[in-house]
A and B are shown apart, each in its own frame.
Chain A
Amino acid sequence: MGGSRKKLLALGLALLMGGALPGLLKAAPDTIVMDKLGDLYGPVTFDHNFHMMITGSCATCHHHTLGEAPEDERCLRCHTGGSPAETVACKDCHPQDRFSSAYLEKLEQDPYLYHTDRPGLLGALHQQCLGCHQQFGVAYGCTDCHERTEKGDAFYRSGDYAPQGGSDDKH
């Protein structure tokens, strides 16, 4: 996958030289370490800077929360731009406990809540990353982004935990 990563980098650099980056993004972190979503895979060090460069627009990932007009027409019906939200980190809106009874209850109790179909953090990150990565054909295998841990190997019966044959499952 090194080759395709280089390709992306080149694309990003080209965009950078075009000088298209809005100034307000300077406060954004260069990298984000994502390590709170389980122990089957190791942490992902997300190159935020790099993704800022290649997307050229915060709204690609952050929807309307940075004050830019969102790219999706459906969002535009309400969010036409304006001031940035108080918090913009993924985890502030996308819950880690998407299906806990507490969260489900919260969804139900609030009759004015519009975004009831908001993915949880795990789903949001994967859908967001894999969506583009698959589209551009770069690094979309599980271990292209994060290493499987030993616990992960045990879970997937992979690596040292791989089945030793002998299973004659005919179905």
Chain B
Amino acid sequence: MMKKIDRRNFLKGGLAGTAALAVTGKATSGKAASFEGYPDSMGVLVDLTKCVGCRTCEAACNKEQGLPEPAKPFNDTSVFDETGHGGMPRQPTEKAYTVVNRYDTESGGPVYRKIQCNHCNEPGCLTSCFVNAYTKTPEGAVIYDPKVCVGCRTCMIACPFHIPAYSYSSTINPIIKKCIFCYDTRLKFGRPPACVEACPQEVMVFGKRADLLRLARQRIKENPNKYIDHIYGEKEMGGTSWLYLSGVPFEEVGFNTTLGNEPVISYVKEFLGIVPMVLTIWPALFTGFHLLATRKEEAEAGKKDNNKGEGGRS
């Protein structure tokens, strides 16, 4: 069912070849397979209708990832009234890989939403990293190697969800910081991330992404009045490992509903496609221009005629 060729690797191969000026016909063939995620990758289904804003997931994340002490206790709900830089609602930081926000919606009552890395199928961060620090593991996590991070912060530009944080406070070793799906300590061993396990309301369900999609559809079908008929993350930006169900329109609880379904790589591939062409065609083209432009000159030089020719510049 799944395509064996992953478009990213495909392009990578093509570019690696051209960067070394060893271009073959293969690199210029345009069509690439679409990658819909690893077949057995795990995911999390978040049901916003169940969240009560207790912030236990934040505490669990802090403990599991050994993060620094928070500014306020994790049972302090006054953080919901805080805004960050630029008047933005709270967002994950270098000290907190997940945060819960409260949204006062039009359709009544507050709705709480947990924010963390959505672990895209075709992550923008990974696509944009020029030291290849990011990896999408077959288990579904988007992890990164902090030892090679140069600090260009392009991944922060490329993330449509504004997730990667940067440890600006560090001088010696500033790096990207974000949720890694508890890959090292849990996901690798088939266990759910700490936030999922700690949640008293079971807001989140951990399982295979494919199963979760079926589950989400079933919930929508069984409770048509309770849920908006949409699974956020099923298709957004090429699909994400974390999926969301909501009882209120997604844009009311801070989701960007204008992202579209194409992964970031789709927007960049038009440029990547011209690279091999420029590398192969330009040398011949411009050497040709040179020969044409200086032909007259050389002929004149041959005739020992010193009058400069006017032609040449096209």
Q: Name A's B-contacting residues (CB within 8 A).
A: 74, 98-101, 104, 107-108, 116-117, 119-120, 122-124, 126-127, 130, 134, 140, 142, 148, 155-158, 161-163, 167, 169-171
Contact = CB atoms under 8 A, between A and B. Distances in A.
A167 B63 contact: no
24 contacts: A101-B190, A104-B206, A108-B208, A116-B215, A119-B202, A123-B200, A123-B201, A123-B202, A126-B200, A126-B201, A155-B63, A156-B56, A156-B73, A156-B75, A157-B70, A158-B73, A158-B74, A163-B72, A163-B73, A167-B71, A169-B70, A169-B93, A171-B95, A171-B165
Contacts of B70: 157, 163, 167, 169
B71 A127 contact: no
Given A163-B70, A167-B69, 16 more contacts: A98-B202, A99-B207, A104-B206, A117-B205, A119-B202, A123-B201, A127-B201, A130-B52, A142-B54, A142-B75, A157-B74, A163-B69, A169-B95, A171-B85, A171-B91, A171-B165
B87 interface: no
Contacts of B91: 171
Give the 8 A-B CB pairs with smallest separation, nearest first.
Answer: A123-B202, A101-B190, A99-B192, A158-B73, A167-B71, A171-B93, A156-B74, A99-B206
Nearest to A125: B200
A59 to B, nearest CB: 18
B191 A99 contact: yes
B199 interface: yes
Contacts of B72: 163
Interface of B: 50, 52, 54, 56, 59-60, 62-63, 69-76, 84-85, 90-91, 93-95, 165, 189-192, 196-197, 199-202, 205-208, 211, 215, 218-219, 222
Contact of A120 (B59, B71, B190, B202): B202
Contacts of A163: 69-73
Given A99-B191, A108-B211, A169 B71 contact: yes
B73 A157 contact: yes
B218 A117 contact: yes
Contact of A117 (B63, B76, B219): B219
A117 to B, nearest CB: 5
Nearest to A170: B85
A110 B202 CA distance: 22
A122 B192 CA distance: 15
Pick from A104, A107, A119 the residue with the most CB of B within 10 Å: A104
Pick from B94, B189, B201 the residue with the most CB of A within 10 Å: B201
Nearest to B214: A116
A134 B112 CA distance: 15
A148 B56 CA distance: 13
Contact of B202 (A101, A126, A156): A126
